[in-house]
Structure 1
């Protein structure tokens, strides 16, 4: 691990290692990837050509794959043919626009069928508006890869960096985002699927010329792939670089933060964890 990152994580009292996300045409030599699934597109859906049984048979959650990667300290990666989840395929930029089926699945379901809906938004129309507004960027290369920062090779640069943590660690990251940007609204927390917080939303803000951190982990469907009380905190690579450069001038060196570190230790004790076991499951 890079010494500047190591020093920052020690000051933050972050147990584990952040994950970086990037796109590449080179398949990772190891890691977790979903099983191949059938092609997805609005045209295929409208023509009735999607094999839904195959879609669900190859289903796996993006955050679930990342959870496995965290436990094994390796990569999780995806491509258009191995997307795992219809939502994840959209958020990671492998197909657009999103399928009409998903607008019903996320909201009210489909009357007269076994698709009862997640009830996360109140109507299919609202879901469609959400998909239009978030408008994920098309995948620029074949693979979308998430892996620990220490495993990035020379010439590989993450677009986003994600921290996984509970409230005390998050308090350090949230305030640091404002410290390094002079932006009082440096942290956003919009509606979205778990993987959208790690990809679509930070890239969405960057596309608007806004350097924003994204606090996530609120999707009820992803909670089983996070530790109890754990959330995600994702920053663009530029903000991550500012973290490494500017944290020594921040409150992370003050007595106030040392008091917070005592609570971090108590949190580990409460969940039966020890330093260095931050990827263990509750």
Structure 2
């Protein structure tokens, strides 16, 4: 499957197709069961041409399990949700339960991750606000065994993606925002929720896909995920996840649009 958008915005990497499947591709990259990993590595790998896959046993981290639609994996976080609430905010060092959990997981964690477990990532002001964040997430337990990331041009006949993910610079992001609104007659067809990088390419597009007028989802406001994507794809990138129905709509809107006019061409000329 090819993309007219890819050519029109001079995308340097492959658009990534996200699919649900009950069988995994034989050549796919996958984390080992129980091993830590970031889902954005799999998505970035697909942008560079390599298929990736994850399951309920191989989603890499608890937030990734939530983000890919494998239910509420925060329940399985070391020390439970209480420790997770403190991990994302003020840390577990002041709690006996938290200190015990930190000691238990220390042999299995990177030094930086263990420091975050004890002293917090500081992404929320309080553990109570973390719980409100969890409650707001559009969690789902998908009816499939695997989530697969494929370069769009590797999609075969009979495969229907759930969404298409672009990794874009500020100019390209601007163009995709315009294009998502181009045929709608209103101006709020793109959202930018605060969530983990994997959640903005997973459960949020899943939710939007259920709407009669699905919206695109901007991501990589997750600072931790930005670190990993920067190492694989370079700097100054955002993700733009498009439910498949909206992707088809946007593909059909390229011809005759601003993407063929001088303002865009002046921006895209040096890419």
TM range (shorter): 0.7 to 0.9
1:253-273 deviations in Å (ceiling 9; x for gaps)? 1111111112xx2xx5xxxxx
| 1:265-276 correspondence runs (5 A) | 265=270, 268=271
CA distance in 1, matches of 2:89, 2:228: 22
Task: Report if the CA contact (8 A) 1:34-1:59 is conserved.
Answer: yes
Out of 167, 175, 199, the residue aligned to residue 178 of structure 2 is 175
Task: Report if the CA contact (8 A) 1:83-1:89 is conserved.
Answer: yes
Q: CA deviation at 1:87?
A: 0.7
CA distance in 2, matches of 1:104, 1:240: 38
TM-score normalised per structure 2 = 0.83
| 1:249-260 correspondence runs (5 A) | 249-260=256-267
Aligned-residue CA RMSD (Å):
1.7
Q: Structure 2: where are the runs of 5+ without partners?
A: 76-80, 100-114
Task: Report if the CA contact (8 A) 2:67-2:200 is conserved.
Answer: no
CA distance in 1, matches of 2:62, 2:211: 26
CA distance in 2, matches of 1:259, 1:64: 32
Out of 250, 254, 258, the residue aligned to residue 243 of structure 1 is 250
Query: Is the aligned partner of 1:65 residue 2:42?
Result: yes
Paired residues in the alignment total 240
Q: CA deviation at 1:103?
A: 2.1
* 1:225 alignment partner in structure 2: 228
CA distance in 2, matches of 1:123, 1:204: 27
SS state at 1:194 partner: coil
CA distance in 2, matches of 1:76, 1:163: 16
Task: Report if the CA contact (8 A) 1:134-1:204 is conserved.
Answer: no
Query: Is the aligned partner of 1:26 residue 2:2?
Result: no
TM-score normalised per structure 1 = 0.80
Q: Aligned pair in 2 of structure 1 residues 161, 129: CA closer, same or farther (>3 Å)?
A: same
* 2:103 alignment partner in structure 1: none
* 1:278 alignment partner in structure 2: none
Q: CA deviation at 1:197?
A: 0.9
1:144-188 deviations in Å (ceiling 9; x for gaps)? 111111111222111111100111111111100110332301111
* 1:205 alignment partner in structure 2: 208
Q: Aligned pair in 2 of structure 1 residues 208, 122: CA closer, same or farther (>3 Å)?
A: farther
* 1:154 alignment partner in structure 2: 157
CA distance in 2, matches of 1:18, 1:69: 8
Q: Structure 1: where are the runs of 5+ without partners?
A: 38-57, 269-282
Q: CA deviation at 1:210?
A: 4.6
Q: CA deviation at 1:97?
A: 5.8
Task: Report if the CA contact (8 A) 2:164-2:242 is conserved.
Answer: yes
